[in-house]
Structure 1
Amino acid sequence: MDGVYNVDDMRRAAKRRLPKIAFDFIEGGVEDEDGLITNEQAFRQQRLVPRYLVDISTRDQSATLFGRTYASPFGIAPTGLAGLFRPGADLMLAEAARDANIPFIMSGSSTASIEDLGKLAPEHGWYQLYAARDKKISEDMIRRADAAGLSTLVLTVDVPVHSNRERNQRNGFSRPLKLSLATRLEALRHPGWLAGYLKHGTPMFSNWAPYAPKGADADAVAAFVATQTAAPLTWQDVERFRRLWPRTFVIKGVMHTDDAVRAASLGVDGIMVSNHGARQLDRAPSPLEVFPAIRDAVGDRMTLMLDSGVRRGADALIALCMGVKFVFVGRATLYGVAVGGRAGATAAINILRREIDLTMGQIGCPRLDQLGPDFLLREREDDWRRNRP
């Protein structure tokens, strides 16, 4: 990873290592991909105003979330099918998160199992639930996550239907993969990735395999998952999952104030304001844009987190200044693990951690609990009021 100094460097290194069909799966959004620009621009439009003559000789970026203190105010968001980019990537990410003392959310489309995560990183591992059309499957996954000792269940609600990911369609990214001659020839230019793929084959959706037809291979399990996911969800399902899950319960994908208020009334412990990394609805606003209204609507009744668009340590601090308690990154650590396995994931974490530390020093903030809207440029008084926790 020579020459990798930031997340974008890591992105370029991942692009060199991965064939186009795999890299585009990580990189792409939906339709015109305006949402990808919207997410990043929302952070870039904010400005941090430094305070000087402050003692920043020691700086502490530790953050407490649901009663546990983590080393940094960010965690690893769920990223599906990571095993395609490097065999064993899910558990490499979990291990890197555990060693860095940050949370890791195992994707509902993981290629490792809930039980593997429970053995490797029970105190840092969360599980993302993609609800199944067969309610018994969802209930059993919740029981498995409980038995594995995972601390937090994350119900993702922003996939009511499968999205229109046109990059994937053009590349033939489906299950089974429809590899054109051009795609196969392009993959030959990435021998490091190709060797792993030929050795290990198509990765299995391990958490879904027990429910698929007996003897199903990886492609058959994936076909089964396609029939079960994008399941219709209602608030009654939220209530049912809340009753089944005994510990911290989070809803991921909330973007509307009314949904946030409803979640709080049902005993949800936290929400992750997210537009799924701009991979579902292309014309959605960015989470950062809608966050102030959600914060004002629910106050301190729930823990408010955010993902989508975080590319720099400064982005994390901007979100915290607006009242976000914790942010999650997905693509950054996925680039890292694709490039360098566990070491690459650790490198991505350390890049963000270093940027947070340096930015805290630059703005005169030795501790995260001192962050607030006074560190943000307020061009108009109504903007200042809207952004103030």
Structure 2
Amino acid sequence: MKLSEAFQFIGLTRGRATGAYSHLHTIGDVHRAALRALPRGISDYVDGGADTETTLEANRAAFNRLRWQPDSLVPADVVDTSKTLAGDKWAMPIGLAPTGYTRMIHPAGEIGVAEAAAAAGVPYVLSTVATTTIEDVAAASTAPWSQLYTMRDRDVTNDLIRRADAAGSPVLEVAVDTAVAGNRVRDRRNGLIIPPRMTLATLGGIAVKPRYWSSMLANESFDFVQVKKSVRSGTLPGGSIADITAGFDAALDWDEIARIRKLWPRTLLLKGPIGPHDAVRAQELGVDGVHLSNHGGRQLDRVIAPIELTGPVRAALGRDALVVVDSGVRNGGDVAFALALGADAAFIGRPYIWGLAAGGGDGVARVLAILHAELARTMALVGAPSIAALRDRGPRLIAQRGSENT
């Protein structure tokens, strides 16, 4: 790809509208647009973290400490951002991490996200607590990767795996950091439930954000339909964000991972703040790799930033294991840092949700376009015009760690 082509915002040049969002130049711009669109309780759900939100801030600080030492005089007239992940070639090593309750953000929901991801040529991971079923997402777009919260009801877990397989998901990611719900204080204060119910606070919010509420009222109600489709008897716990996690299997252990490995026929990843020791143990069970994540600071507070695990985990697993990372990724330069440290791709959560809030699927496309341009520019300027070069030269290109306060 010629460098000039990288700045045509590929997510928008494939049939997406460009004019309405051309004023959004950075992910920060997109975030501000999302805040204007969402009621306070919903934006708090998206932006909030667990307990003191120390991890939420530390994820960004870990990226901000990194510094480049570029290679000079490396031709950069052609920059190739493409990358093969789990056997599929993608336009760039950026993925959309699983996020729950997506239709609460915008009526386009998971289908709008999936369509934007397919248009931009990046993978999308569907959450167990999605508000659209994997069958409907696959019918509307390409089959997404699947994230799995193992459930106390083993039959539900088995059916979620069966349905992901039947839909053609190329990758299954088993979350290992949700034995109990994170203490998301903002959600508790706001009393957030799915679907939102009409309370005095909600009625007050309609006056402040009428466009959001009118769009919600004009569309079908939503629920945890992805997981509920696999529930054959009984019901899941109530509708609050914390309640739903009561159905998760707090007794998840290595034996269950081994059992899932036997059930799943394609690429299997563990997702969580996984250190080198546990990554190697997973590899010994036949797991194909890891998705390094701390849930964007929404589960265990004061846990290590995943970007700081990337180098040690890569060293422990070797070159062939699939290693992807999320939590704190906010621009294309962050993606480049992740690859230089040994990741195969960096995934985003909040940024694409902000794009969805700001403009539905077109807003997600704008986010991906911004990140693609930033990544290509960074690669050109550091002297690594291909993903392979960035990976190979990464240890040399990252010269030092700067101050946490920069």
TM-score, normalisation: structure 2: 0.88
Deviations 1:50-77 (A, max 9, x none): 2232211111111111222110011100
Q: Distance in 2 between matches of 1:16 and 1:221?
A: 24
Matches within 5 A, 1:363-378: 363-371=382-390, 372-378=394-400
SS at match of 1:252: strand
Q: Which deviates further from its counterpart, 256-265 or 14-23?
A: 256-265
Contact 2:50/2:184 (CA < 8 Å) preserved in 1? Answer: yes
Q: Distance in 1 between matches of 2:249 and 2:293?
A: 17
Matches within 5 A, 1:207-222: 207-212=226-231
Partner amino acid for 1:84? M
The verdict on how the C-alpha distance between 1:221 and 1:287 changes in structure 2, with shifts beyond 3 A counting, is closer
Contact 2:152/2:250 (CA < 8 Å) preserved in 1? Answer: yes
Matched, 1:362 2:381: yes
The verdict on how the C-alpha distance between 1:79 and 1:151 changes in structure 2, with shifts beyond 3 A counting, is same
Deviations 1:141-179 (A, max 9, x none): 111111111111111111010110001111111346576
Contact 2:160/2:230 (CA < 8 Å) preserved in 1? Answer: no
Shift of 1:199: 2.1
Gaps of 5+ in 2: 1-20
Contact 1:254/1:260 (CA < 8 Å) preserved in 2? Answer: no
Query: Which residue does the alignment assign to 1:239?
Result: 258
Gaps of 5+ in 1: 381-389
Shift of 1:260: 0.5
Contact 1:26/1:331 (CA < 8 Å) preserved in 2? Answer: yes
Deviations 1:16-57 (A, max 9, x none): 000001011000001110111100010110011222322111
Query: Which residue does the alignment assign to 2:128?
Result: 108
SS at match of 1:143: helix
Contact 2:194/2:223 (CA < 8 Å) preserved in 1? Answer: no
Query: Which residue does the alignment assign to 2:302?
Result: 283
Matches within 5 A, 1:1-389: 1=21, 3-123=23-143, 125-175=144-194, 177=196, 181-200=200-219, 202-212=221-231, 225-229=244-248, 231-300=250-319, 302-371=321-390, 372-378=394-400
Q: Distance in 2 between matches of 1:179 and 1:152?
A: 38
Shift of 1:295: 2.0
Partner amino acid for 2:184? R
Shift of 1:226: 4.3
Q: Distance in 1 between matches of 2:245 and 2:183?
A: 14
Contact 2:31/2:351 (CA < 8 Å) preserved in 1? Answer: yes
Query: Which residue does the alignment assign to 1:385?
Result: none
The verdict on how the C-alpha distance between 1:175 and 1:71 changes in structure 2, with shifts beyond 3 A counting, is closer
Q: Distance in 1 between matches of 2:266 and 2:276?
A: 24
Q: Distance in 2 between matches of 1:37 and 1:225?
A: 26
The verdict on how the C-alpha distance between 1:37 and 1:222 changes in structure 2, with shifts beyond 3 A counting, is closer
User: What's the RMSD between the two structures over aligned residues?
Assistant: 2.4
Q: Which deviates further from its counterpart, 167-176 or 368-377?
A: 167-176
TM-score, normalisation: structure 1: 0.91
Shift of 1:101: 1.1
SS at match of 2:226: coil
SS at match of 2:208: coil
Q: Distance in 2 between matches of 1:172 and 1:220?
A: 10
Deviations 1:259-296 (A, max 9, x none): 11110000011101111111001110101122222222
The percentage of aligned residue pairs carrying the same residue is 37
Query: Which residue does the alignment assign to 1:386?
Result: none
SS at match of 1:200: coil
Aligned length: 379
Q: Distance in 2 between matches of 1:255 and 1:365?
A: 28
The verdict on how the C-alpha distance between 1:65 and 1:255 changes in structure 2, with shifts beyond 3 A counting, is same
Q: Which deviates further from its counterpart, 295-304 or 90-99?
A: 295-304
Partner amino acid for 2:124? F
